[in-house]
Structure 1
Amino acid sequence: MAVLSGERLHTNMDKLLPGARSAALLWQGAALAGGLALGAGQVYGGAAPFGLALVISCPPAYCLAAAVGTLAAGIVFQPALLGIKLGAAAVAAATVRRLIDERPKAGLLAGCLTLAAAQMVQIILLGGLVNFSQTVTVGCTALLAAGLGCAFAHFPAREPRGVCLWLAAVTACLQRCAVGPLAPGLALAAGAGLCAAIGGTLEQTAVLSIALAAAITASGPTLAFAALAVAMGSLAAACLCPGERWRCAGVFTAGCTVGALAAPDAAGALPLAVSAGVGIAAAMAVPGGVMRKIFPPPAPPVQAQGLSGAARKLASVADTLSDIADTVNAVCQRQMPPKGESFDFVVEQVARTTCQSCTRRNRCWVRGYATAMDGLYHLKPILEGQGRVEVQDLPGQLSVCIHPADLCTAANHGYRLWRSRRQTRARASMLRTALTEQYSALAGALAQLAGKLGQAGLPDPRREAKVAQLFADLGLDALECSVTADLAGRLTASVTICRTHFTQDEVRGLTDEVSRICRRDMDTPEITHCRTVTMLTFGERPLFTVEFGAAAHAASGQPVSGDALDQFCDTGGRAQMLLCDGMGTGRAAAVDGQMAAKLTAQLLRAGFAAESAARLVNVALGLKGAEQEAGATLDLLTVDLYTGRAGLFKAGAAPSFLVRGGVPRMLDGASLPMGVLDSLVGRSTTFALDAGDWVVLVSDGALTDGSDWLMQQLQLCAKLGHTPKQAAETVADAAACRAGEKRDDITVAVLAMGKRA
């Protein structure tokens, strides 16, 4: 019956889990083979702990098979007495784990106590004669087996630490299988170390190399120099050229060659050469896909994950703001005009306050309804023209009214209420439009910032540590320090320290040191002082340089100019030049121009793109001009100093000019100023700049004699070799002289491109 029950159990198991029985048999065979392989291994002094450690740590279902393999290996490969003792200890440990307690600790106690008992029995049988060499070997075997068994149990092979431990054990065991000059354990160590240098990190390579070198040294002290040579080659490859397969192999070979100099003789270097060659060939044959599975790329650092999370949140906020703007516009457009928006409100006010209690109400509003309505609607042009109506202004249709003064009073009051409602409605519509436009502009700007954050590069911890150490050596402990590379590979170093003032010489010295540490040509840092801290931001020095020039004249008879100009380079490696021309002349135009220029510059420095910044400024000018006209043109040039790509955004501005090779050409785009319409109507143009090119922005006052005359002046300045400042002053002075007493505000701004030596 028991046999039938067992057969029925196996049949049901195969039905539920096809192939489960075959898999179980394969695992039993693997445990038996593992016991045979590890049971044959030894370390210096004759200790053989690996087979017993396998029995202690393997799953209980396979410990008997591992014990049988260890017993067979002990009898065949180990000294007779030690092999018998190891076999007895392995069988005892497996029996206890299978029948009494499955935990590794139970097997550890059973195996070690059995080894100790077997040694005591040998001493008793020999009449108390103690063989110190055998006793020490058995004791070391028991201690090492206990330690390795616990390590195997706590660090399974599916974890990197477990892989390192098992590789060390296998390396030590393979040393018993040397064939001529080939040392299999040394070859395995060489291949594994080179694979770690190619696909893993420096830390992984260091730990693996040290563990394998210790295993080789423990199993065969004569190959200690070879183990150190292989470890040195692996570490050198991981330090100098990580991830580069062929260069790693070259550096590894050089490291092993240097290590061979420590060989006791020329013949002793032969095992290193043969084994290292086999290991290199095996490592180079491993496919890249397999290498990536063995050494997966590390997870992004916490800082990069935080930036990605912030980018996702900003993108979500941008989408929400855009949806809010669309919803508000859609709802307001579909609403019916509210009651009180037509002149009927005034008619109803008169009928309710004057005619409702009148004795002639039926005569006027029943039999003479059409006449009364016609007369009241004749009051509309009078009220709109004079703001009020008198008795003598009443039309003939209302001559039958017996209360003309009350009628006029009611009409005047109703008209004032009606006009107030219309003004409130118009103001609410304007504010709603400004609000939704601001939502849309902010949504676009936040989406752009989210894109930039999402493209932020990964930090460089080693350079961060070196930069932080630099400031610590100067007595300025860094509160925060980061060194990151963007998608183009450009480095940015940011350091926050306690509030400190630096001289120009100190700034130059800091820049040189940071450049040396980062091995990049870093530019002078942007220094920002905030209450108690100072922030320094170093960026790579761009390929191109710029030189600015500007000149301006106020309009005739005006103390100030309505034009506003700003020229600067930001920390992102971009040159910005913007020109705003307030509508009109004098102080009012100056207020609009300065307001537009200041807001635009602040938004650009905060990282906003040109169009997003212009849309937000357009909303601000529109709200300012709710009670009076306000507006300003915008001319904005943005140049990427790393690539030379330029973008020109225009909103109602005068034509601009590009001077290349001494020949000017006009850059124009039809558009409207900011603050005029609810939505911005601008135009963007992109083009490439190179060293020697000029871009000239002018206000409309400089075009008194037209664009052809201005291009002739620019061509003459280029031929004479003027600097940007000289060219701007020459053109502005000439335009002011030609305009005479009818001179408008004149501003000329020049940006000249250069290239670093």
Structure 2
Amino acid sequence: MSNHLNQLIAEMKEDTISFVSVEKDIVERLKEANIECFQLDVLSNKPGARKIVCALAPARVNWEKDTTLAERMILPILYEIFDEPFEIEKVVACEIPFRHVQICFRSAISFEVEYDIYSMSKDATLYSGDSHALFQLHPGLFAILLSDGMGQSKEAQHESRKLIHLMRECLNYNMNPETAMHTLHYVMALKQQDDMYATLDFALVDLQHGDLWSWKAGGMSTYILRGKEVLKVESNAAPVGFLSISAVEAEKRKLKAGDVILMHSDGLFSSVADWDEQEETFLAFAQQVASTNKTIQEKLTIIMQSFQGYFEIEDDCTVLMLEVTHVVPTWAVFRPAQYSMSKSS
């Protein structure tokens, strides 16, 4: 536990780097690349929402029309410094107080997610042992939390909700995910109800690099549908609170545009019917519907209705469905009117 706390303190110190030191680092890297930047301003240093303005003298390059040098030389430097992709937002030519060019760089978000949730409690009761949360930590990082408390009682609901709340608090304080998972194991193990615990399925979708990071503590398999292919993310880690210390390792998967992510609680599959048969049937319906042009809300409803036509859901059940798509930049939009004008000229 002390090792994780020391790591957390070190990370907090790193986050306190001032704008001045960041700007100085960028200017030095530009000088090493023989790019003379007489003024640089970091307007925002928040991950996923960084904004940097660089003022350059045009010299021999016509910066007003040609941004190739900025794309090939400055963008890679920013990527190395911040470990995230950037894009050119705009280029402004200025004549006052002397002729120069201002180039505005911002964090590039390559992907976006759309999601829907299917949730039901056993026997249509008011209390469900399942809890979930989907939210953005910052514009480039999307978090998914799914917890299943033991049983279907009010106490089970309390356990799962408490776990979700604690995890969100850890993430809001910029705690490392693995450190947060170990912290939850430690805190939950101190509770008085020794027979109560909850699973936690935690995932982060990196919208800049297109990565899925997954941490599981007793959670079910996560499915990634990619056309006819199905990728599974699994783990044998113990539920949170079951042990005071548990080995929780991150699983990383590369995402592509069009991928569909499915996460679910164990209530989806019955303990009476064959588990493999249920999983195969569920995935078959999911693949069949995922490729249609229906909304994600319609897709998930059809999948669950079709599945329940074959197997009865006997427990609290939650299914999360997410679709990953490319962000289309404004400059990629084709406008025939503008094209015809430029062609005639």
What TM-score bracket applies, with the shorter chain setting the length?
Answer: 0.5 to 0.7
Q: Which residue of 1 aligns with 2:63?
A: none
Select the residue among 673, 697, 709 that pairs with 2:239: 673
**Equivalence for 2:22:** 458
Partner amino acid, structure 2, of 1:446: I
Verify the 8 A CA contact 2:111 2:207 in the aligned structure 1: yes
Q: Which residue identity does 2:291 align to in structure 1?
A: K
Which amino acid in the other structure matches residue 748 of structure 1? V
Per the alignment, residue 205 of structure 2 pairs with 639
Could you say if the C-alpha distance between residues 576 and 755 of structure 1 is closer, same or farther in structure 2, counting changes exceeding 3 Å? same
For 2:259 and 2:222, the matched residues in 1 are separated by 14
What is the SS of the residue equivalent to 2:160?
helix
Tell me the residue number matched to 1:488: 83
1:729 aligns with 2:301: yes
Identical amino acids, percent of aligned pairs = 20
Hey, what's the Cα distance between the residues in 2 that align with 1:615 and 1:548?
28
Deviations 1:109-140 (A, max 9, x none): xxxxxxxxxxxxxxxxxxxxxxxxxxxxxxxx
SS of corresponding position for 2:133 = strand
Contact 2:264 2:319 (8 Å CA) reproduced: yes
Which range moved further: 449-458 or 571-580? Answer: 449-458
Report which structure shows greater RCO (CA 8 Å, sep ≥6).
2
Deviation (angstroms), 1:751 = 2.0
Determine the C-alpha separation between the residues in 1 that align with 2:139 and 2:175.
12
2:316 is matched by which residue type in structure 1? Answer: D
CA contact (8 A) 1:553 1:736 kept: no
The structure where strand makes up a greater share of residues is 2
What does residue range 605-644 of structure 1 map to in structure 2 within 5 Å? 605-624=172-191, 626-644=192-210
Unpaired segments ≥5 residues, structure 1 = 1-436, 469-481, 493-510, 523-539
SS in 2 for 1:604: helix
Contact 2:285 2:307 in 1 (8 A): no
Q: C-alpha separation between the residues in 2 aligned to 1:703 and 1:614? A: 26
CA contact (8 A) 1:563 1:581 kept: yes
Aligned partners of 1:693 and 1:744: how far apart in 2? 28
CA RMSD in angstroms comes to: 3.5
Change (3 A) 1:628 1:579: same
Q: Distance in 2 between matches of 1:724 and 1:566?
A: 18
Per the normalisation by structure 1, the TM-score is: 0.32
- 1:651 shift after superposition: 0.7
2:4 is paired with a residue whose SS is helix
Q: Secondary structure at the match of 1:708?
A: helix
Q: Which amino acid letter does the alignment assign opposite residue 700 of structure 1?
A: D
Q: Distance in 2 between matches of 1:698 and 1:588?
A: 20
Distance 1:618 1:752, change over 3 A: same
**Residues in 2 aligned to 1:670 and 1:613: alpha-carbon distance in whole angstroms:** 18
Distance 1:718 1:592, change over 3 A: same
The answer to which structure has the higher helix fraction is 1
Out of 263, 288, 293, which is 1:716 matched to? 288
Amino acid at match of 2:169: Q
The answer as to whether partners of 2:144 and 2:202 remain within 8 angstroms in 1 is: yes
Conserved? CA contact 1:553–1:732, under 8 Å: no
Give the CA deviation at 1:683. 3.7
Counterpart-to-counterpart distance in 2, 1:755 and 1:557:
38
CA distance in 1, matches of 2:203, 2:18: 24
Is residue 746 from structure 1 mapped to residue 331 from structure 2 by the alignment?
Answer: no
Q: Name the counterpart of 1:562.
A: 129
Question: Structure 2: how far apart are the matches of 1:620 and 1:734?
Answer: 41
Pairs within 5 Å for 1:16-27: none
State whether residues 146 and 202 of structure 2, in contact with CA within 8 Å, keep that contact through their aligned partners in structure 1: yes
- Match of residue 388 from structure 1: none
Q: CA deviation at 1:692?
A: 0.7
**Structure 1 residue identity aligned to 2:182:** R
Post-superposition shift, 1:549? 1.8
Task: List aligned pairs for 1:169-568, cutoff 5 A.
Answer: 437=1, 439-450=2-13, 458-459=22-23, 462=39, 464=41, 486-488=81-83, 519-520=104-105, 522=106, 540-568=107-135
C-alpha deviation, 1:753, in angstroms = 1.3
Instruction: Write the distance in 1 (CA, Å) between the matches of 2:239 and 2:151.
Output: 12
Count of aligned positions: 268
Deviations 1:420-461 (A, max 9, x none): xxxxxxxxxxxxxxxxx4x34323433444566679971379
1:574 and 1:551 map into 2 onto residues whose CA distance is 23
Gaps of 5+ in 2: 25-37, 45-50, 54-77, 92-100, 329-345
Cα distance, 1:596 vs. partner?
Answer: 0.8
- Return the index of the structure with the highest Cα Rg: 1
Equivalent position of 2:145 in the other structure = 578
Deviation at 1:591, TM superposition (A): 0.6
Q: What is aligned with 1:684?
A: 250
2:259 counterpart letter in structure 1 = D
Counterpart secondary structure, 1:519: strand
- Determine if contact 1:573/1:640 at 8 Å carries over to the other structure: yes
Specify whether residues 688 and 616 from structure 1 end up closer, same or farther in structure 2 by C-alpha distance, changes over 3 A only.
Answer: same
C-alpha distance after superposition, 1:439-496 (max 9, x if no partner): 343234334445666799713794549x69xxxxxxxxxxxxx95964337679xxxx
2: CA distance, partners of 1:450 / 1:442: 13
Distance across 1 between alignment mates of 2:260 and 2:227: 9
Deviation, 1:566, is 1.2
Q: Is the 8 A contact 2:86 2:108 kept in 1?
A: no
Letter in 1 for 2:198: A
1:552 is displaced (CA, Å) by 0.7
Equivalents in 2 of 1:602, 1:712: separation in Å?
37
User: 1:545, 1:753 within 8 Å by CA — same for their partners in 2?
Assistant: yes
Distance of 2:145 and 2:181 partners within structure 1: 11
CA distance in 1, matches of 2:236, 2:319: 20
Match of 1:664 in 2: 230
Q: 1:458 to 1:698 in 2, by over 3 A?
A: same
Matches within 5 A, 1:82-101: none
Query: Partner amino acid for 2:240?
Result: M
The answer as to whether partners of 1:583 and 1:630 remain within 8 angstroms in 2 is yes
Amino acid at match of 2:22: L
The match for 1:701 among 236, 246, 267 is 267
1:675 Cα deviation after fit: 0.5
Give distance in 1, aligned partners of 2:82 and 2:300: 38
Q: Does the CA contact (< 8 Å) of 2:147 and 2:199 recur in 1?
A: yes
Q: Deviation of residue 684 (structure 1)? A: 2.3
